[in-house]
Chains A and B, each alone.
Chain A
Amino acid sequence: MAHTAIVSEQAKPVANYQMATRQDRGRLVYISGQVAWDAEGNTVGRGDIRAQARQVFENLRQVLQEAGGDLADLLKITTYVTRLDDYPAVVEVRQEFFPDGLPASTLIVVESLFHADWLLEVEGMAAIG
């Protein structure tokens, strides 16, 4: 890994993520907010948070692979949802993609995303190499 997790005894995460990560070397990658687009640019899983979450994390993984890395290279992700009630389902799906836990992470409920059909959006930064 090109990064290190920062661990504090006095401040601990409320779930399975890191409180902070530090980029030690490698290239810095800024990843756009990923939404539930398939390769053709069509929104998948209208009204289905699990289907959208799977597509979003697949897209995130694909972008990282195109950058020469993978999900394990992420420094931080931010998950934006439009309904807090969807969050448990997002956590469930996210767990499949991050079986060893998340990098630094933030969850925010927004009024909406840039299309009414999108239920979540996930962006991140990674250190690769």
Chain B
Amino acid sequence: MERRDIRADSPTEKRRGFMPAVSINPGRLLFTAGMTGRQSDGAVVAGGMGPQTQRTFERLRAIVERAGGRVEQSIKQMLYVTDLEAYYAQGRAARAAFFGPSRPASTGLVVRRLADPAMLIEVELVVDLQEPPQGGFKLEKFNVEAHGLDFFQGVIVNGGRLIYLAGQVANNPDGSVAGVGDLSAQAQKVYDNIGYVLQAAGATAASAVKETTWTLDLEAWREHGTPVRRAFYQGDFPASTLVEIPGLARPEFLVEIEVIAAVA
């Protein structure tokens, strides 16, 4: 509510249409999962970056509208692309049309791989639904498509307080790395650590709103990380994003997971 765009009126902003920051008074906030150019049959739409970007934002719009909002109310956008030239050539223009004159705060990254090698772009949004909380604190997790996968496409935080976890890695309390060379062991340690931190904040796994998993090997994560993740969330998944990147803070780390949670 009472959105305020933080503008410096610098030449940078004017020339590049760049929004440095957006400030709001949180009432009802929507976090989307990372969305891609998948079609209803699960295949990625044909035609490359332009059609994928279009499809991605159509799906995002469906999520935002299901939550009672509009894409223009986005306060933050995360863009993950695997082909920057294609993004500048075809993706950027397709994306801009969805925001109209409004601009969210934004971060764009070139990553190594998205969930499917055919995917060229993935986008997630945080949207201020510009409404006061409806009743007491609660999380409203929902899907707009039947996908059968281990995440929700949208999570609304109604009231409450947000908790931002640092990226969690497989470190022991003494600073040593657990499970060197062993992704299953690292996954277990990471989720143990997430559980401890959530507990210290008076939260549980069910309090998770949004999760981003950064892995060095996406296929290995599916095999070794997914069972650990399922055991942790017990079906009460957050909105989530999974990307493959070339490195983390220490060469031993195979995965890093960030969680945003909320409590009353």
Contact = CB atoms under 8 A, between A and B. Distances in A.
Interface residues of B, number: 64
B197 interface: yes
Given A11-B193, A114-B84, A123-B107, A20 B166 contact: yes
Contacts of B110: 110-114
Contact of A10 (B12, B166, B173): B173
B26 interface: yes
A4 to B, nearest CB: 9
A13 B166 contact: yes
The interface residues of chain B, by DSSP majority, are classed as: mixed
A109 to B, nearest CB: 3
The interface residues of chain A, by DSSP majority, are classed as: strand
A18 interface: yes
Contact of B199 (A8, A14, A59): A8
A106 B196 CA distance: 18
A121 to B, nearest CB: 7
B247 A121 contact: no
A112 B84 contact: yes
Contacts of A17: 166
Interface residues of A, number: 58
A32 to B, nearest CB: 4
B107 A32 contact: yes
A31 B20 contact: yes
Given A8-B197, A104-B166, A27 B245 contact: no
Interface of B: 4, 6-8, 10-12, 15-16, 18-26, 29, 75-76, 82, 84, 104-112, 126, 161-169, 171, 173, 175, 192-194, 196-197, 199-201, 214, 245-251, 256, 258, 263
19 contacts: A10-B193, A19-B165, A19-B200, A22-B164, A23-B26, A23-B163, A27-B25, A31-B6, A31-B105, A32-B20, A37-B12, A40-B12, A75-B164, A84-B251, A106-B167, A106-B256, A106-B258, A111-B245, A123-B105
